């Protein structure tokens, strides 16, 4: 496999704040690659640089062999992008939106109709192609934006939080369309997300990002394997007491309170359950104790000491941070 994206110490700062910090990643041709992290991690700033919307403070990257700083026009011809915020004209029909985008990207007039018909069918909008966008649901609009990003047959499709604000059923449908688009057009997909299940189910590889840096990278399975154990979840009347028992009596470290329960990652979790019950029985009432395999939330917690959910409201980096300062 060849690398279709490579970054070289890619860095972006805003007024002394480093939003992306010396990023070195590579993405193979044909894979679905996720940047996973909380709001403010630097994900959108990263793809904004890769799409030539923002110029790096230092470092550079190559997309399809073209340098994002020295050859921005060639980069733009190689990519499609679906922004986090809606960017389709709701005064036009779906077909009119696609024709407009095809003209903007220089798709030959002789090919436009066939491409548009094919892509509308792929995202299951052929029956609504001539309806005004303002009559579309949120999920239908998202599917049309995916179609629009592919009308010029890009080598790389960037998706910034592609299912943000959608209900679970619509999110599942959008995932299906993304996989179908990737397979039908043999493209590379790079997406940003803070949804664990989205990264887990959709991506070939995941880069977990926090404070502008990549803190872990690999397949979902490989990332979970780094924890080397099982997660025990304990619901009790005294969470502080449970943590003290785990630490002082059993010698376990890394226990955290999440949503009112204590979670700790251990090796040989099944054999550890009776020991925990015995160690706490005289002082603490355990309402329930269970065992599960690690997930990506646990991986993030392991590397950062906090959950993505708990961190989602922190002061954002990058573009959003600058905008908030201007508003204030």
Return the domain boundaries, the chain.
3-223, 228-293
What confidence tier does 291 reach under pLDDT thresholds 50, 70, 90?
Answer: very high
- Largest distance between two CA atoms of the chain: 80
Asked if pLDDT for residue 191 goes beyond 80, the answer is: yes
- CA 164 vs. chain centroid, Å, equals 10
pLDDT at 320: 43
Residue of 102, 95, 97, 61 lying closest to 80 (CA atoms): 102
pLDDT at 181: 79
Radius of gyration of the chain (CA): 23
Give me 182's structure tokens: 């990737």
| 3-223 and 228-293 share one fold | no
pLDDT at 311: 52
Please give the Cα distance from 152 to 167 (Å, whole number). Answer: 29
pLDDT at 319: 45
CATH of domain 3-223: 3.40.50.300
CATH of domain 228-293: 3.30.70.260
Residue of 82, 86, 85, 59 lying closest to 191 (CA atoms): 82
Contact 143, 175 (CB under 8 A): no
Residue of 237, 295, 243 lying closest to 264 (CA atoms): 243
Please give the Cα distance from 74 to 284 (Å, whole number). Answer: 65
Please give the Cα distance from 162 to 270 (Å, whole number). Answer: 38
pLDDT at 177: 81
- CA 8 vs. chain centroid, Å, equals 21
Please give the Cα distance from 222 to 204 (Å, whole number). Answer: 11
Asked if pLDDT for residue 326 goes beyond 70, the answer is: no
Asked if pLDDT for residue 151 goes beyond 80, the answer is: yes
Asked if pLDDT for residue 179 goes beyond 50, the answer is: yes
Q: What one-character-per-residue DSSP string does 177-202 give?
A: HHHHHHHHHT-EEEEEES-HHHHHHH
Strands laid side by side in the 213-218 sheet: 79-82, 156-160, 188-193, 32-36, 205-210, 213-218
Please state the rounded mean pLDDT for residues 290-311. Answer: 84
Give me 282's structure tokens: 């005289």
More confident residue, 94 or 327: 94
Please give the Cα distance from 107 to 130 (Å, whole number). Answer: 20
Asked if pLDDT for residue 327 goes beyond 70, the answer is: no
Give me 243's structure tokens: 């943590």
Region at 161 (left for phi over 0; alpha for psi -120 to 50; beta for the rest): left
Residue of 116, 171, 121 lying closest to 142 (CA atoms): 171
Contact 27, 5 (CB under 8 A): yes
Contact 35, 192 (CB under 8 A): yes
Asked if pLDDT for residue 316 goes beyond 60, the answer is: no
């Amino acid at each position: 496999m060849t690398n279709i994206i490579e970054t070289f110490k890619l860095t972006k700062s805003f007024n002394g704040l480093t939003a992306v910090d010396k990023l070195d990643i590579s993405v193979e041709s044909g894979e679905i690659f996720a940047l996973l992290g909380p709001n403010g991690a630097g994900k959108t700033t990263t793809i904004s640089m890769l799409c030539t919307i923002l110029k790096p403070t230092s470092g550079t990257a190559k997309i399809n062999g073209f340098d994002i700083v020295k050859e921005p026009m060639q980069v733009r011809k190689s990519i499609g992008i679906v922004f986090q915020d809606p960017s389709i004209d709701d005064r036009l029909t779906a077909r009119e939106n696609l024709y407009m985008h095809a003209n903007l990207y220089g798709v030959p007039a002789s090919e436009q109709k066939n491409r548009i018909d094919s892509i509308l069918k792929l995202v299951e909008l052929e029956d609504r192609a001539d309806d005004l966008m303002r009559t579309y649901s949120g999920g239908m609009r998202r599917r049309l934006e995916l179609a629009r990003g592919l009308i010029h047959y890009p080598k790389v499709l960037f998706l910034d939080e592609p299912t943000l604000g959608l209900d679970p059923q619509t999110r599942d449908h959008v995932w299906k369309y993304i996989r179908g688009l990737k397979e039908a057009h043999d493209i590379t997909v790079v997406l940003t997300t803070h949804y664990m299940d989205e990264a887990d189910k959709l991506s070939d590889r995941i880069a977990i990002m926090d404070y502008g840096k990549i803190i872990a990278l690999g397949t979902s399975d490989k990332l979970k394997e780094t924890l080397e154990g099982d997660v025990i979840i304990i619901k009790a009347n005294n969470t502080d007491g449970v943590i003290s028992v785990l630490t002082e009596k059993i010698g376990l470290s890394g226990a955290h309170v999440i949503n009112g329960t204590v979670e700790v990652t251990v090796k040989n979790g099944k054999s550890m359950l009776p020991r925990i019950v015995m160690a706490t029985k005289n002082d603490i009432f355990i309402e329930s104790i269970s065992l599960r395999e690690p997930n990506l939330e646990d991986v993030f917690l392991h590397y950062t000491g906090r959950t993505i959910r708990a961190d989602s409201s922190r002061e954002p980096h990058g573009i959003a941070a600058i905008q908030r300062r201007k508003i204030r």
